[in-house]
Structure 1
Amino acid sequence: MKKLVILFLFAVLSVNAQETSQMVSFEGKIANRNSDSIVLATGKNFKKTLRLNKRGQFKEAFEIPADGLFQLFDGSETTLLFLKNGYNLKLTMDAKKFDESIKYEGNGAKENNYLAQKALTDEAFEKDLDVLFTEDESTFNASLEKKKMGDLSQLEKAGVDASLSQMLTSMIQQESIMLSQFYAQKKVAEKMNGAISPSFNYENHKGGKTKLEDFKGKYVYIDVWATWCGPCRAEIPFLKKVEEKFHGKDIVFVSISVDTQKDHEKWKKFVTDKELGGVQLFADNNWNSDFIKAFGINSIPRFILIGPDGKVIFADAPRPSSQALDSTLGEFFNM
C-alpha cells in the first residue's frame, strides 16, 4: 500500500483550497532521471510540467492556484510537495533512490524535508501492514494508535508552516480511520478464501466479452480499479512490472474498471493511451455489478487472486507494489 492512503487523502483534501494565483520559484537537479520531465499537480485544475535538461536540471518560476500540497511525479514514482506563495525552493534527488535521496534547500526547505522524511517513516510502517492485517483487532488498533500519536508528535516538533500542519493533522487522523476500514474489509474478505469464486462476463477492451471461466486452469490476478482513482493509477507501474516478470507463466492479469457508463469512452482512451497490459474489462454496472458486490468491494484499488481450480486464494490479495505479491506468485511458479 506504499503511499496509497496518503495520496488518496491528498487527492480528497487538496481540492478544498481557495484558489488565488500565487507565484513560486522551483529548481533542482535529478540524477538517474526516469523521464525528461517532472509533473506537479493538485486537485483537478492544476498540472505543471517542468522540463529537464540533459544534466537533469530544471528551473522555473510559475503560478500556483493556492498555497498547499502538490503531487510531484517523476515518470515512475510520486512524492508530496508543499508550495506557498514566495517560496524559492531547490531540490536534489537520485531517482534510483527517490525518497531516500530527496533533499530541499531554500525558502520552504523545512516543510518539504519534513514531508520527505515522513514518506520514509510511512513506508517503513506500511511494510509491516501485511503482517498487522493478520493480527487480532486489539493488536492492530494499538499499532495504529501508536503510529497516529507518533506522527502527530513529530509534526508538532517539526515546527512547519501552520497551514501545512493543519493539512497534515487532518490527513494523519483520516489515515488512521481509513486503515481501520481496510482492516475490517480484509476480515470480511477472508471468509471467501477457499470458496469457488463468483463469476463475471464483462466487456473486453479488445472486443467482445470475457468471463472468468475463460481462464480455467490458470491463476487469475484481478485488479478492481477506476480511471478517477489516484491510488489505483499509482499501482499501474508496479502491475506492469509484475506482468512482465511472470510473462509466459500460467497466470493472467485482469483489470476490471468500475467506472460509470458515462465514463466508458474515458476508460477506453485511458487504457489505450497508458498502454495498459493484461486483460482490460469494464464492469457491467460499476459498484453494483454482481461480481463487485459478491466480494463486498467498497473501496479501490482491490486485488483478488483466484486459483486454477476457480477457488479464491486471496479475496483481498497483496497489491502489485507489495513485496508480498512477488514472493507469493514466486512460490506458485518456483521462482
Structure 2
Amino acid sequence: MDTIKTNPMKKTIYILLVMTLVLVSCKQTGPVDYALVSGNITGKEGELTLMSEDRTFSKTLESGKDGSFSDTIRTKPGHFFLRDGKNVVRLYLAPGNEVRVNADAGDFDNTLSFSGKDAASGRYLKLKGKTITDLTGDMKSFYAQDETAYREANKGIGTALEKILDSMPGLDEGFIRKEKRNLHYEYLNALNIYQNYYAHFADDPDFKVSDGFLDELAGMDYNLVEDYNFSSSYRQLLQDHYRERSGKLSESDSLPGEIAYMKVLTTIPDETIRNGLLFGHASNNITFVSDLEAYYSIYASASTDEENNAVIKKSYEELKALSGGNPSPVFSGYENYEGGTTSLNDLRGKYVYIDVWATWCGPCKAEIPFLKEVEEEYRDRNVEFVSISVDRNKDRDKWKAMIAEKELKGVQLLADKDWESDFVKAYVIKGIPKFILIDPEGKIVSSNAPRPSDPELKKLFEEVL
C-alpha cells in the first residue's frame, strides 16, 4: 500500500482553518443578546426615539433620507414606544426578536404595518390599541357611567381583546400567556381608578365607590416578578397598593409623603420588584423631595441594583450642589416674549421666582390662576416672577399664543434647547412644573420652592422679602 506524504505546514494550516470555522460557527449559534428593530417611515428624515414603557431605557435611532432605520436594542424584555416626533408605535421587544416597522408619515395610522419573524406582537398591539379606542369612545361618557355599566363595559373590552389575542397568528406562546394575565390586570386597574375618574368626569368630587366594588382586588399577589416585568397595569396596582400603605404610615408617624412611601418600598420581599419601584420613584421624584438626605439614605440602604444606584447617586450629588446658599446655575440669552433676550444676570438685585413650565403641561396650567394672584400681591416687593417654557423651538407660536390667551404676566422666556437646556439640566429637572427661588446675589434660596397654590410660598416670601 502506498504511503502518501503530507506537508507538515499544510497540515498545520488545515487544522487552524478547521478550528477557526468551528469557533465562528459556535459564535454564530450562541444566544443573541439584542433585538433588531428596523423599518422605513416614508416622509420622515432625522431621529426616532425608542423608549421603554417604564422609562428606564431610551435610545435615539437615526433614519436616512428615505426614512429607513435599523438598530440593535440591548435591554431587558418589555414594551416600548417608537416615536417619530408625532406618531407613536407600540412594540414588544426581547433579545432575539426581529421586527420591521413600515409606514407613511403622511397617513401613519392607515399605512402602519409590521414584518419580520416577530411582527405578530406589533400587529396585536396595534389592533389592541384601536379596539380599546373604539370600545371606550368618549372618555367623559365612559368614565361617568354608573358602577355596574362601567364594570360590564370593561369586561367587554377584556373579552374582545382576548379573542383578538387567541386569533392572532404567529404570537409566541409565552407572550400569549403573559398578555392574558395582563388583560386581567388591566381590568382590575380600570376598577381601581374608577373612583377618581368618575369624580373628575362626572364633576362629583365627593364621589366614593360602593362597598364591595373593589372586592376583585382582594387577595392579589404583589410578588409576581414575571408579571411585574411584563405588565404596566400590574406595576400600577403595586404602586397604588404601597401608596395606600405609605399614606397610613405618613399619618401615623407624621412623615412627609415621599419618605413614608420609600420606607414602605424597602419592605418589599422580592429584590427585583423592590429595586424597580425604588428606582422608578427616585429617578422621577428625587428632584422634588423636601428632605434630600433622608430620602437618599433610605434609597441607598435598600436598593441592590448597582447600575440603578449609580444613576441615583449622580442625581443626589448634583442636587446637593443646589442646596440653599450655593450659587445658582445661570441661563443666558433666552428669548423674551416682549422682545430681545434675557439672562439670569440681568435680574441681579432682586429675588427671582422661577416657574419652569410648558404649554402642553396640565399641572403647569392649573397653577396659572394662583401664580397671577401671587404676582399681583407681591408686585411692589423686591421679587421678579420669571416663567421659563421648555416648549420646543418649533412650538414658539404656541408658546406666544398661550401667553396672549392666558394674559400671563411677569418675565416670559423660552428656554434655548427645551429639556436639553443647560439651566434645566443643571437643576436636574425631571418633571414640571418646577419652581425655584434665587436671592438678589444669584444664590439659591430653594431649588424646590413651593408652587403658587401652596400657602407655604407666601410664608417663604414673608421670611425673605
TMscore range, shorter length: 0.5 to 0.7
Shift of 1:177: 5.3
Q: Where does 1:98-137 land on structure 2 (aligned, <5 Å)? A: 101-102=206-207, 131=256
Query: Are residues 302 and 236 of structure 1, via their aligned partners in 2, closer, same or farther at CA, if it must alter by over 3 Å?
Result: same
Post-superposition Cα deviations, 1:230-258, rounded to whole Å, max 9, x if no partner, equal: 33233333323322332221111111111
Are 2:391 and 1:259 equivalent residues in the alignment? Answer: yes
Task: Determine which structure has more spread, i.e. the larger CA radius of gyration.
Answer: 2
Q: Where does 1:95-174 land on structure 2 (aligned, <5 Å)? A: 101-102=206-207, 131=256, 141-143=262-264
Match of 1:180 in 2: 282
Are 2:354 and 1:222 equivalent residues in the alignment? Answer: yes
Q: Is the 8 A contact 1:189 1:316 kept in 2?
A: no
Match of 1:189 in 2: 319
> Identity, % of aligned pairs?
39
CA distance in structure 2 between the aligned counterparts of 1:286 and 1:313, rounded to whole angstroms: 24
Are 2:277 and 1:277 equivalent residues in the alignment? Answer: no
Q: Is the 8 A contact 1:92 1:103 kept in 2?
A: no
CA distance in structure 2 between the aligned counterparts of 1:245 and 1:294, rounded to whole angstroms: 30
CA distance in structure 1 between the aligned counterparts of 2:247 and 2:370, rounded to whole angstroms: 16
Shift of 1:296: 2.9
Q: In the alignment, residue 453 of structure 2 is paired with which amino acid?
A: S
The number of equivalent residue pairs is: 236
Q: Is the 8 A contact 2:249 2:255 kept in 1?
A: no
Match of 1:234 in 2: 366
CA distance in structure 2 between the aligned counterparts of 1:226 and 1:143, rounded to whole angstroms: 33
Query: Are residues 329 and 226 of structure 1, via their aligned partners in 2, closer, same or farther at CA, if it must alter by over 3 Å?
Result: same
Match of 1:247 in 2: 379
CA distance in structure 1 between the aligned counterparts of 2:202 and 2:248, rounded to whole angstroms: 23
CA distance in structure 2 between the aligned counterparts of 1:261 and 1:281, rounded to whole angstroms: 12
Shift of 1:218: 1.0
Post-superposition Cα deviations, 1:95-116, rounded to whole Å, max 9, x if no partner, equal: xxx5xx44679xxx958xxxxx
* Structure 1: tracts of 5 or more residues without a match: 1-8, 28-66, 70-78, 84-88, 112-117, 150-172
Are 2:345 and 1:213 equivalent residues in the alignment? Answer: yes
* Structure 2: tracts of 5 or more residues without a match: 1-54, 56-80, 82-87, 91-128, 146-186, 215-240, 270-274, 287-311
Match of 1:20 in 2: 134
Shift of 1:174: 9.3
CA distance in structure 2 between the aligned counterparts of 1:247 and 1:126, rounded to whole angstroms: 37
Post-superposition Cα deviations, 1:66-88, rounded to whole Å, max 9, x if no partner, equal: x998xxxxxxxxx94159xxxxx
Are 2:421 and 1:289 equivalent residues in the alignment? Answer: yes
* TM-score (ref. length: structure 1): 0.53
Are 2:81 and 1:81 equivalent residues in the alignment? Answer: no
Q: Secondary structure at the match of 2:386?
A: strand
Match of 2:431 in 1: 299
Post-superposition Cα deviations, 1:154-190, rounded to whole Å, max 9, x if no partner, equal: xxxxxxxxxxxxxxxxxxx998755422225576323
Greater helix content: 2
Q: Is the 8 A contact 1:227 1:233 kept in 2?
A: yes
Q: Secondary structure at the match of 1:19?
A: helix
